[in-house]
Chain A
Amino acid sequence: MADKENSMADENKPSLTMENLNQKIIISVDRLSKRYGSLMAVDDVSFSIAEGEIFGIIGPNGAGKTTTVECISGLRAPESGSTAVYGLSPRQNRDKLRRIVGVQLQESSLPPRIKVQEALDLFASFYPDPLDPNELLESLGISEKRNAQFKKLSGGQKQRLSIALALVGNPKIAILDELTTGLDPEARRETWGLIERIRDRGVTVILVTHYMDEAERLCDRVALINHGKLIALDTPAALATNEGGGVRMQFVPSGSVDDKVLAALPGVTSVERRGSRVIVAGSGDLTTRVLYALLKIGVNASDVQVKSGNLEDAFVKLTKTDDKTIKVEAGKQ
């Protein structure tokens, strides 16, 4: 069992390395730590982000997500460890870094009476090569609000303006923190579409969120942070499959199949029968393996259904296990 899991982990590994994606690392976080008083807000976190990725940072409230991105964007100085963006250190290259990183901050508001157009023109004047504010308003669907004051905007419109401000400087990287918190489902979906369009323009996106559906839908990879520590880093699909209770595959075989053959496949944890149906449970790339095994013995599978655990299941499991470990360790001390 344990062996099987290890071998699965090894097989998944190549998909995680940057060389494999043939992409350039543009952000690196190396052993980052930050303490507030006695609380380790970020504790020895390392990861890197490739150009063009949508990289998710997920975790419970107060896990250290915001502090991590604040260190990356240079708003906070790390206690130890370092971050670099296109090789620039946030402290030594403050201005250069700020020209290429657009930030949307959690809990940051605009002066209530500032007009949409004014805010955007103002921010455009801060950058050497800004986007056309009018085109940006157009593409974000708030151009009819250009003369409205900030306080008159709806929650969704405020968020879109906030995104517009993060993008108007034509950044290479956009850091979006709790972007859709407080939005209604429709506005959230619109915002998701928007983030995908941002990425299509070649902007690398760091998305901080505590919504698992959001991370699952948008992110190429997610880092799960709990109590300041990085506890998982993978694609949402891999996390869901490996940690979210695995995959359950059902099918009706066209001929006779020996359960032992299926059970011996890597990643399979159980095989059951329900009438004519075979139910195989396990983890990893189970479906392909089962179908390939059936093909080899000349059996067809019909009515195939695959259900896999989702990111939320993985999230709950990983944070719970982590919390228990922490309690046990604390008990030992």
Chain B
Amino acid sequence: MSTQDSEVTIQRSRKAFWELVKVEGKLALREPVGVIFGIGLPVFLLIIFGSIPAFRNTVPGTSLSAFEVYIPILMVTMLIFIGLFGLPIPIVRDREIGWLRRISTTPVSPTKLLTAQVTINLIFAAVAFAILGAGSVLIFGVKVAFEIPGLALSIVLATIAMFSLGLLIAAVAPSQGVAVGMAQGLLYPLLFFAGIYIPIQFLPGYLQTIGNFTPVGAAVQALDSSMQGTFPSVVPLLVMAAYAVFFGFIAIRYFRWE
């Protein structure tokens, strides 16, 4: 194959990839449960919390208002929904109905379909981060002293950890039913340790300790510090990185194509 040929092939394969992203993205928007919960719910809660006057009072023992305490929690809530539902369910569906197999009869590798799903959900997560961040600052006038590198690192690690969890579900769940069951089983514990019911600072000490060693608790912790202008401490960053590697390893090891 000449260089020109291989260039053409690479171009075509890129085009095929973005076509896949486009089509699977449209499908995600047509079956919008993942999007409604992943983006809609956190945004909805942001608006509610932002509109409650009492949430503007400073929380005793911190320099933050209740609303400010909730911003990282809402970000992580969004990642939980995308990681548990938005990412794995379409992958399991595409495998279950034979779409993944159908794609593998074409010159396009089925890995491309997985990459496309990850890309779509990364786009959704980026949009949600932007809405939650910009919304709280621009609309609700939150004054945060962003620690930009720390915030970027926290967002990247939290996203990778939760996406790895999603891929792990996609890897081991044999059917959509099982995948939804696993996701629902994990949903409430994760929401709890992210602090959506009670922010983690107000939990009893031993629950705080457990929470800090969950990927979601660590993510909230790291995002929280970055928003207060401090580079996050190394423990939550390492916790997230460790989960990302662990989940990712299991996902790759046990992924089933059929």
A 258-273 binary contact with B (CB < 8 Å = 1; else 0): 0000000000000000
Cα separation A119 to B22 with both chains bound (whole Å): 11
Interface string of A94-128 (1 = CB under 8 A from B): 01001101010101111101100011011101111
Q: Which chain A residues numbered 121 to 157 have a C-beta less than 8 Å away from chain B?
A: 121-123, 125-128, 149
Q: How far is the CA of A113 from the CA of B104 in the complex (A)?
A: 20
* CB <8 Å contact, B30 and A126: no
**SS of A interface (majority):** loop
Mask of B5-31 contacts with A, CB within 8 angstroms, 1/0: 000110010011001100100110011
Across-interface contacts of A109 in B (CB, < 8 A): 97-99
Q: Which residues of chain A come closer than 8 Å to B107, judged between CB atoms?
A: 95, 98-99, 126-127, 169
Inter-chain contact B97/A125, CB cutoff 8 Å: no
Cβ contact within 8 Å between A108 and B16: no
Inter-subunit contact B98/A108 (CB<8 Å): yes
Q: Is A73 an interface residue (CB 8 A)?
A: yes
A103 to B93, CA, bound (A): 21
Proximity string of chain B (47-80) to chain A, C-beta cutoff 8 Å, 1 when within and 0 when not: 0000000000000000000000000000000000
Contact status B105-A111, CB under 8 Å? no
Contact call A105/B105, Cβ cutoff below 8 A: yes
**B101 A110 Cβ-Cβ under 8 A:** no
Q: Are A169 and B27 in contact (CB under 8 A)?
A: no
- A75 at the B interface (CB under 8 A): yes
The secondary-structure label for the interface of chain B is: helix
Count of chain A residues with a beta carbon within 8 Å of a chain B beta carbon: 27
Q: Is the CB of B12 within 8 A of A98?
A: no
Instruction: Report yes or no: A125 in contact with B15, Cβ–Cβ below 8 A.
Output: yes
Q: Are A111 and B97 neighbours in the complex by a CB distance under 8 Å?
A: yes
Which residues of chain B have C-beta atoms less than 8 A from A118's C-beta?
A: 23, 26
| Cβ–Cβ contact B106 & A111, under 8 A | no
Q: Add 10 more A-B contacts to A105-B101, A108-B102, A111-B93 (CB < 8 A).
A: A75-B105, A95-B107, A118-B23, A122-B19, A123-B106, A127-B107, A128-B12, A149-B30, A165-B102, A169-B107
User: Can you give 30 A-B contacts (C-beta < 8 A)?
Assistant: A73-B105, A75-B101, A95-B107, A98-B106, A98-B107, A101-B105, A103-B102, A103-B105, A105-B98, A105-B101, A105-B105, A107-B98, A108-B98, A108-B101, A110-B102, A111-B27, A111-B90, A111-B97, A111-B99, A118-B23, A122-B20, A123-B106, A125-B19, A126-B12, A126-B16, A126-B108, A127-B107, A128-B12, A149-B30, A169-B107
